[in-house]
């Protein structure tokens, strides 16, 4: 399906969007990627949604990407004898390993690893940061804290520890089972929660064994500090602003988002901006003006994708939320200022033949009124490099690998097409012309740019570029055997 925009839309599935009819409407409204949240839903429910997406993909004859979002380790306090307690500013409150029900002076924190990592002065945030504690004294099985921000604390509320790198793996035992399940199911992307260090990503990649690309969620201060090292071993990035805004000053999140987006683009790796993008549309058919501005700001930054969470998974208006994102994207990308911003942030890559080829393809397309850039890509690398250029003309990403086509659905500007395997450049040009015509991007009177790697079917070998006419007789007359 050809979109009128370049940024992609990720929609989370859930109770509000679990039937064929609704999911198909989401695709038709603009969803390019579906997120399966492994924090909610049984394996049977996840399998059923996966099957529906693949059925719709077949019915529409267009690739659709599926992203499985792993839960990650969840840090929570224990239970209270009365269900909840009120904490007052300035009081002392203890966290410990005892499984006795909590009261107004203490509660269990069943994570010895946290106590091992804490130091006096460390911060602890409870219930999405609504309660803030500062450690005054701690040991291997307790932490005595001063309450800096009080409020109601209740059973099994989440805990964030922003100041230290916790000796916890990003993959819990549940995550490992979920990872194997969704890889066998055939998802295209894995979103890894609780990333703190590159080793977390490398562990997930080893378990995935190439069956899915690994996308790192940046939601911890440690991940921000080690971002470039994490990016180097990741296939993509999600700026998960929810937990990031809890663990770091909320006013720092926009600048972090902008910096991470530019680093991802420079590395030719896709980046998603997520969390609370159209939060009010969970209950309202219309977004707030601030939300529209937030979505637009991410698009102006050049992100590959913008994501809906509860809006499409559990909200009352899932289709309207996707349509709203689609409308905002169309408006922003038609703004001349958008083009100016995107092109001003472009950085030339002369470090490789493939980088030079894709930069040249973009420049030729823009200066000679070529209608599209068609790139053959076994692994997806060439398409990623073309997308990094953010060309003004459409990108047609062609591959004989169905998995690659689906994975590229997350990437800015890519119109993904599965084609037969080719062994000669002549046939590559023919397939490119056919694809451009089928998508309505070119007619017989137009030219396209074709990039490929010779010999074919060798990942990362892009070394040829041609401006080709879309009139088939000219193709065969001018192309040598």
For the cut 80, the answer to whether the pLDDT of residue 477 exceeds it is: no
Q: What is the mean pLDDT of residues 122-137?
A: 94
- pLDDT band for 61, please (50, 70, 90 cuts): very high
- pLDDT band for 2, please (50, 70, 90 cuts): confident
pLDDT in tens, 291-322: 999 999 999 999 999 999 999 999 999 999 99
Q: What pLDDT is attached to residue 481?
A: 42
Q: What is the mean pLDDT of residues 105-120?
A: 94
For the cut 50, the answer to whether the pLDDT of residue 478 exceeds it is: no
362 noted as active-site residue: no
- pLDDT band for 30, please (50, 70, 90 cuts): very high
Q: What is the mean pLDDT of residues 134-163?
A: 95
CA distance 379 to 460: 8
Question: Which of 5, 8, 12, 35 is the catalytic position?
Answer: 35
Question: Which of 3, 76, 262, 438 is the catalytic position?
Answer: 76
Share of the chain above pLDDT 70, in %: 96
pTM given for the model: 0.92
CA dihedral for 382, 387, 393, 395, sign (positive or negative): positive
- pLDDT band for 332, please (50, 70, 90 cuts): very high
Q: What pLDDT is attached to residue 26?
A: 98
Q: What pLDDT is attached to residue 349?
A: 65
DSSP of 361-429, one letter per residue?
HHHHHHHTT---EEEE-SSSHHHHHHHHT--SS-EEEEES-HHHHHHGGGSTTEEEEE-----SHHHHH
Q: What pLDDT is attached to residue 377?
A: 87
Question: Which of 157, 217, 220, 265 is the catalytic position?
Answer: 217
35 noted as active-site residue: yes
- pLDDT band for 474, please (50, 70, 90 cuts): very low
275 noted as active-site residue: yes
Contacts of 415 (CB under 8 A, 6+ apart): 2, 3, 394, 395, 396, 397, 439, 441
Angle at 191 between CA 47 and CA 459, to 5 degrees: 100
Question: Which of 12, 261, 275, 382 is the catalytic position?
Answer: 275
For the cut 60, the answer to whether the pLDDT of residue 475 exceeds it is: no
For the cut 60, the answer to whether the pLDDT of residue 476 exceeds it is: no
Phi, psi dihedrals of residue 178, rounded to the nearest 5° = -65, -40
Q: Which domains does the chain have, with CATH numbers?
A: 8-73+170-335 (3.20.20.60), 84-160 (2.40.33.10), 353-478 (3.40.1380.20)
Q: What pLDDT is attached to residue 1?
A: 72
- pLDDT band for 164, please (50, 70, 90 cuts): confident
């Amino acid at each position: 399906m050809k979109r009128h925009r370049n940024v992609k839309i990720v929609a989370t599935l859930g109770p509000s969007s679990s039937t064929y009819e609704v999911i198909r409407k989401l695709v038709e409204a603009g969803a390019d990627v579906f997120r399966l949240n492994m924090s909610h839903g049984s394996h049977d429910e996840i399998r059923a949604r996966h099957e529906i997406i693949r059925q719709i993909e077949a019915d529409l004859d267009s690739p659709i990407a599926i992203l499985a979002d792993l839960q990650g380790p969840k840090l929570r306090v224990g239970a209270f004898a009365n269900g909840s307690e009120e904490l007052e500013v300035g009081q002392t409150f203890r966290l410990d390993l005892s499984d006795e029900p909590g009261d107004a002076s203490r509660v269990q924190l069943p994570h010895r690893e946290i106590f091992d990592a804490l130091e006096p002065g460390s911060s602890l945030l409870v219930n999405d940061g609504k309660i803030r504690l500062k450690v005054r004294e701690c040991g291997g099985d307790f932490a005595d804290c001063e309450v800096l921000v009080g409020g109601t604390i209740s059973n099994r509320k989440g805990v964030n520890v922003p100041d230290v790198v916790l000796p916890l793996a990003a993959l819990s035992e549940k995550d490992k089972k979920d990872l194997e399940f969704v890889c066998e199911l055939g998802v295209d992307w894995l979103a890894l929660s609780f990333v703190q260090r590159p080793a977390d990503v490398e562990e997930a990649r080893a378990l995935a064994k190439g069956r899915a690309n690994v996308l790192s969620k940046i939601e911890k201060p440690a991940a921000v500090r080690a971002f470039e090292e994490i990016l180097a071993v990741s296939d993509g990035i999600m700026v998960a602003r929810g937990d990031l805004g809890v663990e770091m000053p909320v006013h720092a999140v926009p600048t972090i988002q902008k910096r991470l987006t530019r680093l991802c683009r420079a590395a030719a790796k896709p980046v998603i901006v997520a969390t609370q993008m159209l939060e009010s549309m969970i209950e309202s058919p219309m977004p707030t003006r601030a939300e529209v501005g937030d979505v637009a700001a991410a698009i102006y930054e050049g992100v590959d994708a913008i994501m809906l969470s509860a809006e499409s998974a559990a909200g009352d208006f899932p289709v309207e939320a996707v349509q709203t994102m689609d409308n905002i994207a169309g408006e922003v990308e038609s703004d001349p200022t958008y083009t100016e911003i995107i092109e001003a942030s472009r950085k030339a890559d002369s470090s490789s033949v493939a980088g030079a080829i894709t930069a040249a393809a973009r420049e030729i397309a823009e200066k000679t009124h070529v209608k599209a850039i068609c790139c053959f890509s076994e692994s997806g690398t060439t398409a990623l490099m073309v997308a990094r250029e953010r060309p003004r003309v459409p990108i047609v990403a062609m591959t004989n690998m169905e998995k690659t086509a689906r994975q590229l659905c997350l990437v800015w500007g890519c119109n993904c097409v599965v084609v037969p395997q080719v062994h000669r450049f002549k046939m590559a040009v023919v397939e490119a012309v056919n694809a451009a015509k089928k998508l309505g991007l070119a007619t017989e009177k137009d030219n396209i740019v074709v990039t490929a790697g010779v010999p074919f079917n060798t990942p990362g070998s892009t070394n040829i570029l041609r401006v080709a006419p879309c009139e088939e007789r000219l193709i065969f007359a001018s192309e040598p055997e």
